[in-house]
Structure 1
Amino acid sequence: MKHFQFFWAVCCCAFFVGVSPSAIAQINPKNLKKHIEYLASDKMKGRETGKPGSHKAAKYIEKHFKKYGLQPKGEQGFRQSFEAKIRRVKVQDSLRQSDNIIGFIDNKAPYTIVIGAHYDHLGYGTIGGTRDSLGVGKLHNGADDNASGVAGLLELARHYASNGEQEAFNLLFIGFGAEELGLVGSRYYTENPTLPLNDIHWMLNMDMIGRYQPEQGLAIIGYGTSSAFPKIFEGISSPLKFHTSKDGNGGSDQTSFYKKNIPVLFFHTGGHDDYHKPSDDAHKIDYKALEEILNIEMKVIDHSMKQPKMDFQWTN
């Protein structure tokens, strides 16, 4: 994730209540831990765009999309390839190859919900972005940013692919590349969509959802981007504290969709001392809270499927 500090200033509307046992059973916390520990392991070398660790992460997402039976919806199978440029610092190999990994659940519906998370991170901090003045040259594993979001992406894909239901909407799952270089992958997708943008019901983005802090709660950003969201959130319950904010813009991939007049929600557990530092490691993830966040997301998705095609509203 690129920036987080300003999100909390726009948050409003807190919700607190209980969650049903049936919803909890739909997410497998062992899968979440397995995904994050793999993606944020030292062998991934910080998943820097254009480097082997980032390519391994892309293959990992693709492997699971295949395993869960998603249909390929890229330009070459599950892949949509593009070039990204490093602009924050000067490096010899500033042009990098990356891929969006795109899988589709076809429910034979006219409209589609997009669910996304970026898989890249900062490598050794030499491409810019590190918040540790002594961190350049040290491995940035990016467990929260954004192995946590990718774990959520994969678990939601598994759930909706295996729940035995034909939903009223199709579902498009995207692992975005090169977010840390300026939302490059998501912007590329919205400029080169593999399904018509007019057919998108709304877009859900997960970026840094692994470090829930009770004092500030979970931020759900984009609540104002459709007049349907207040209705969708009626009856949504969780033991976690969560806040909604109206703004559709922000430092993550939902912004690319918002700029194309698509309603968005961005789930985010906020900044912390390990953000964009070598200390963002897997053992610091709050897996129980991550599981509950995905329960909230599933309820929002399911409630949104009871609505007609959602309208779009500018929020600023």
Structure 2
Amino acid sequence: MHKFKILISFLFSITFYYNTSAQSDTALIRSHLKTLTKTPQFRNHSNIDQLNLTAGYIRNIFQKSTDSVSVQEYNVDQKTYKNIICSFGTENQKRIIVGAHYDVCGDQEGADDNASGITGLLELSRLLKGKKLNYRIDLVAYTLEEPPYFRTELMGSYIHAKSLQESKADVFGMISLEMIGYFKDEAKSQSYPIGLLSIKYGNKGNYITLVKKFGSGAFVSQFSKNFKATKSILTKTFASPPSLPGIDFSDHLNYWNFGYDALMITDTSFYRNKNYHQKTDTMETLDISRMGKVIDGLYNGLISLK
């Protein structure tokens, strides 16, 4: 009996450790979302002062977790725009990029698009603080992802991806966080670029998606497997040609263009969230709990890479 009690205690301690190894803080998530969205001006390309305030907030939060924080500046139409970068595990040569854009399209709060992705970066930075890592992990908050700069060489992610190539950085892979906070359990709350996909993936918007293109490499394969293995949230993997509408509608596009292995983590954007690029995209529409579980899956998926 004594040995049995010891065994039960040991198994419980393992389960307890696993369940709390990446406990995202929903209060912090809510606080970040409020700071990013409830601003005097909208954080679009025209409001450079607001973009700078947002960039400053991101930088300050990053600095709480690591001393390795930098600003990548570049000029567009005589205005200076900024990518904010923080790094962990800098003793490792091979690196992983996790990025999200902080600008919005037009005059709207952009809670899901893409304060949710930036909040994911901020919470991930807290979780990575002081951890021993097998790879260098760079968290990058991009500017100018949205129109009129989308698919141009003025996107912040293009600037960053190009700098990696020019410096011959050893990049294992890249993850783009693009809208990770909107979930619906109702039937017919999820649509697809091809209607028949609902047969395979279902018609409920209650899952997170790992989006990759055909022929992805070792990083995408390993990370996807690790993310799903955490079972932190219902997860579906979607692979297709890059030509399918929506599969490259974020910053991972530029890493693909420079030959890097990359994927997008998303709630599927406008295929689910009808607030996309609308004034109704507010933090009150987001599922904070499930958003935290996405961040947990991201963290566990990263630290378990070998």
TM over 0.5: yes
Which of 250, 253, 257 matches 2:251?
253
1:296 is paired with a residue of what secondary structure? Answer: helix
Deviation of the 1:227 alpha carbon: 3.9
Match of 1:238 in 2: 231
For the 8 Å contact 2:95–2:138, the answer to whether it is kept is yes
Deviations 1:197-234 (A, max 9, x none): 54111111101111023413211112642145444405
Equivalent position of 1:158 in the other structure: 126
Is this contact kept in 2: 1:79–1:101, CA < 8 A? Answer: yes
Within 1, Cα distance between the matches of 2:67 and 2:166? 15
- Of 217, 220, 225, 2:210 maps to 220
What is residue 277 of structure 2 aligned with on the other side?
276
1:116 matched to 2:113: no
Q: Residues 143 and 282 of structure 1 are in contact (CA less than 8 Å); yes or no, is this contact kept in structure 2?
A: yes
CA contact (8 A) 1:223 1:244 kept: no
User: Are residues 1:28 and 2:40 paired?
Assistant: no
Aligned amino acid, residue 152 of structure 1: G
Distance in 1 (CA, whole Å) between partners of 2:160 and 2:75 is 12
SS in 2 for 1:32: helix
Compared CA separation, residues 223 and 121, structure 1 to 2 (3 A): same
1:101 and 2:98 matched: no
Q: Which runs of 5+ in 2 are unaligned?
A: 1-16, 186-203
CA distance in 1, matches of 2:284, 2:168: 38
2:73 aligned partner, one-letter code: S
- Supply the AA of the counterpart residue of 1:185: G
Displacement of 1:120 in angstroms is 0.3
Alpha-carbon deviations, 1:229-278, whole Å to 9, x = none? 44440561325322112246501001111111211121111221211001
Distance 1:117 1:199, change over 3 A: same
SS of residue matched to 2:103: coil
Partner of 2:136: 170
Supply the AA of the counterpart residue of 1:110: Q
Unaligned runs of 5+ in 1: 1-18, 73-77, 85-93, 125-139, 307-316
Deviations 1:53-99 (A, max 9, x none): 21111111111111222403xxxxx2111234xxxxxxxxx664311
Q: Answer 1 or 2: which has greater helix percent.
A: 2
Q: Aligned equivalents of 2:165 and 2:140: distance in 1?
A: 11
Between the aligned partners of 1:194 and 1:55, the Cα distance in structure 2 is 26
Q: Percent identity?
A: 20
Q: Distance in 2 between matches of 1:50 and 1:101?
A: 19
Partner SS, residue 212 of structure 1? coil
Give the Cα separation in 1 of the matches to 2:299 and 2:36: 23
Partner SS state of residue 141, structure 2: strand
Question: Which residue matches 2:14?
Answer: none
Alpha-carbon distance change, 211 to 37 in structure 1, aligned in 2, over 3 angstroms: same
Deviations 1:155-197 (A, max 9, x none): 1111112xx4321111111100000021511011112239845
Choose 60-69 or 142-151, whichever is displaced more: 60-69
Hey, what's the Cα distance between the residues in 1 that align with 2:74 and 2:39? Answer: 26
Q: Deviations over 1:132-172 (max 9, x none)?
A: xxxxxxxx0101111110000011111112xx432111111
Match of residue 44, structure 2, among 29, 48, 55: 48
- Give the superposed CA RMSD: 2.3
2 CA distance for matches of 1:170 and 1:195? 18
Q: Which residue in 1 is equivalent to 2:191?
A: none
Closer, same or farther in 2 for the Cα pair 1:106/1:21, shift >3 Å?
Answer: closer
1:121-200 correspondence runs (5 A): 121-124=104-107, 140-161=108-129, 164-180=130-146, 181-182=149-150, 184-193=155-164, 196-200=167-171
